[in-house]
Amino acid sequence: MMAVLAAATAAGATAATAPIKAPAPAAKATAVAAPSGYHAVLRRTAYGAPHITASNYAGLGYGAGYAAAQDNICDLADRMLTVNAQRARYLGPGDKNANVVSDLYHQRLIQSGRLEQLLNADPKSLERPSADARALVRGFAAGINRYVRDTGVANLPVACKGAAWVRPYSEKDIWRVSLAGQQPNQLAGVAGASPPGGPEPIGAGPIDGGPSNIPPGQGSNAYALGREVTKTGHGVLLGNPHYPWDGINRFTRLHLIIPGKLNIVGAGLENSPVVGIGHNQWVAWSHTVSTARRFGYFELTLDPKDPTAYVFDGKSVPMTRIKVTVQVKTDKGLIPVTRTYYDTRFGPMVKTPLTPWTKERAYALRDAPVNLRGTDQYLAMWQAHTVHELAAALSKYQGATFNTTAVDAGGEAFFGDIGSLPYVTDAKAAACATSPAGKKAWADNRVPVLDGSKSACDWESDPHAATGGIFPASAEPQIFRSDFTENSNDSYWLSNPNQPLSGYGRIFGDEATARSLRTRLGLKMIADRVAGGDGLGAPKFDLKSLEGVVFNDRNLGAEMTRDDLVGLCRKEAAGAHPELAKACAALAGWDLHVNLDSRGAQVFRLFAEKGGLKFRVGFDARDPINTPNTLDTDDPAVLKALVEAVKQLDALHIPLDAPLAAVQSEPRGGERIPIHGGPGPEGIFNVITPAKPVDGGWTKIVHGSSWIMAVEFTDKGPVSQGVLTYSQSTNPASPHFGDQTELYSRKGWDDLRFTEAAVKAGALSTIVLDEKPAKP
């Protein structure tokens, strides 16, 4: 069987390229019939930004689904293929059988019945989505289906044109996407779990559980600027997630309006009808990746007579067996692949190099946030008038899997890591993470690996929490301020240096430890702007100055070390390393930014990547923004990194003094679009993480600034602008495949057009989706 799978060729689809078309001209409203009583008006303004107006949530979902399919139908269909465990059936086994592993994992989720349990939970329970939430999701599925019917599968974009795997979707399909997206990145560990003597893992896949929740290159920045630091005394917000430029976690712009009831604008993930980062009339918010651990393991003591039974409170408990079969496309037709998986009272068994399954020990995975509460949480957040009301919504549902940073029109700022976090105190970990594996995981990574042999080591519960096994919201880090809150993916501790948050358990994050260079730069830029010392005009923030701060493209690591590095470089160039002479000149002439016209940034980039940022002065908790500092030129790693950086640049024919525009770009429609920004670890706030360099430079962006949103509340209401760096559509034939990428390259912004009047005035196209309910 494995030989057959290894030999089979995956039938994956690749996107073609086409020239970028001009923006669509203004058009008269066209009527498109819609089934099942849905009604919505879809207007598109500049850059393809969709604005949906409807009288209820079902209509909003319908319009949002239609717009999402217009922009990204192939991404949507591909995601549906994944969560319904059908990748291998249609696309073949994939590289290293990745599609088979994915399908086994997701089929196990399907057979667990968790989705049905949540949808059919007690109507009084928060676990059961409300009628409005279900209407929104049901409408979203219907809108996608309508677009596909109108267009025809044969006329879809090249990536899914005529594909047999594009089909009608249901409300449950959309919920399944939501549920699958909350799972920890343990796909291979769960799909490959088998007892001693069982089948070998079918293929490789991602395994989480390492030292960080943040995938390399991903993360976010967020500013909530309160009345003490803004020019008008109203709130100002920056939302700046750093998410993938391709794949399932792409953002899409979205504006939802129910006249007289709801007006919410911003962006959300492309496979959802939810504005996840945005603002209403009174409150604006963003999210950043949290350092808190939202999952854990239980170390099982196995029954000596049976490795599929474990000891719990002195009794042998058999694991629940789940037989899973998926179909795999090969050159000989469909081949069934079957595996048996095992569940415990804690969750599924997992098998990785860090969590082996032996005759004596094995590990079960428990994930805190597996729920559908998030949609209702956002519906409540959308109605908030103050940050206190927004925090109350977060606290009620505890559905967030990220930090939340927010500000209101009255100028009060908020930060909170409020969500479903395992109720594992430091005392619980000390008492129950007692094995060598448990102690190491807790000490090194703050991941709880608890003794699964006794009930006393289970996660605690609190009646005030949204569900069992998690901390109540009142015990989770949060702060309200009238000056500001900030987060750039470090822990809650320094959300505001004037009021450090402390005293929380290790599972939430670390305290009184060094912050990243990106966090430190974010805080420095706030101080510089408040003092008016950054060259952006009078002190304090407004919309224009905030946008200037985001796109100033400073590099804190370089600001702290460049001069000392040049000194070392010149010394060595005059002696043992004459090949460094050009690098010395490039670094000396560099403006310490990552603007398109910045020359020499590429030398420092590879120097930092190769471990050259070694500091002489260590961290001091009394001065966390300014320490550590001072390049340790006596450390041999510094010179070694510089020499290796120059060697690699020469080998790749990347000129050491070329402007960044010439060596860093993103392809769109056969063109290369120069991209400013750079990797966060160097101390760059505007994060851009490219793929590994090739001959001539960095030619593809992987992660980085994605949805960038700036909001200022005024006496006349909110004013907001934004840019979706990779553009609204993944369809190479769309006029919105690269237009916002070009806008980002120019450091431009687009008006979000919050009011209905602004939307109508800027509409370039209008589609009316309307039909009376079908007669029974």
Q: Which residues are identified as catalytic?
A: 220
CA distances from 329 to 12, 160, 326, 542 (A): 12, 17, 10, 57
Locate 600 and state its tokens: 């020499």
Give the DSSP H/E element, type plus range, for residue 106. helix 98-112
Q: Which of 644, 584, 641, 638 is nearest to 614 (CA)?
A: 638
Which is it for the CA torsion 31, 33, 36, 37, positive or negative?
positive
CA distances from 652 to 485, 527, 602 (A): 42, 40, 12
Reading phi first (left if > 0) and then psi (alpha if -120 to 50, else beta), residue 313 is in left
Task: Return d(Cα 371, Cα 165) in angstroms, integer.
Answer: 27
DSSP 3-state of 242: strand
**67 within 8 A of 40, measured Cβ to Cβ:** no
Tell me the sheet residues that pair with 484.
Answer: 225
**171 within 8 A of 137, measured Cβ to Cβ:** yes
Task: Return d(Cα 87, Cα 102) in angstroms, integer.
Answer: 8
Give the DSSP H/E element, type plus range, for residue 60. helix 57-83
- Residues whose CB falls within 8 Å of the CB of residue 174, separated by 6 or more in sequence, listed in order: 137, 140, 141, 271, 272, 273
Amino acid at 411: G
Task: Return d(Cα 69, Cα 63) in angstroms, integer.
Answer: 10
Peptide bond into 628 cis (omega under 30): yes
Task: Return d(Cα 245, Cα 259) in angstroms, integer.
Answer: 33
Task: Return d(Cα 503, Cα 625) in angstroms, integer.
Answer: 20
Which is it for the CA torsion 324, 329, 334, 337, positive or negative?
negative
Q: Which of 431, 296, 437 is nearest to 361 (CA)?
A: 437
- Residues whose CB falls within 8 Å of the CB of residue 760, separated by 6 or more in sequence, listed in order: 43
**52 within 8 A of 254, measured Cβ to Cβ:** yes
- Residues whose CB falls within 8 Å of the CB of residue 113, separated by 6 or more in sequence, listed in order: none
CA distances from 447 to 106, 475, 509, 529, 674 (A): 24, 19, 11, 38, 40
Task: Return d(Cα 570, Cα 578) in angstroms, integer.
Answer: 9
| Apex 447 CA angle, 442 and 449, nearest 5 | 80
- Residues whose CB falls within 8 Å of the CB of residue 634, separated by 6 or more in sequence, listed in order: 616
Task: Return d(Cα 236, Cα 712) in angstroms, integer.
Answer: 4
CA distances from 173 to 64, 132, 162, 422 (A): 16, 17, 21, 28
**C-beta atoms surrounding 745 within 10 Å:** 18
**C-beta atoms surrounding 356 within 10 Å:** 12
Tell me the sheet residues that pair with 667.
Answer: 672
CA distances from 402 to 28, 405, 412, 617 (A): 41, 10, 20, 33
Tell me the sheet residues that pair with 413.
Answer: 407, 481
Locate 99 and state its tokens: 């599609």
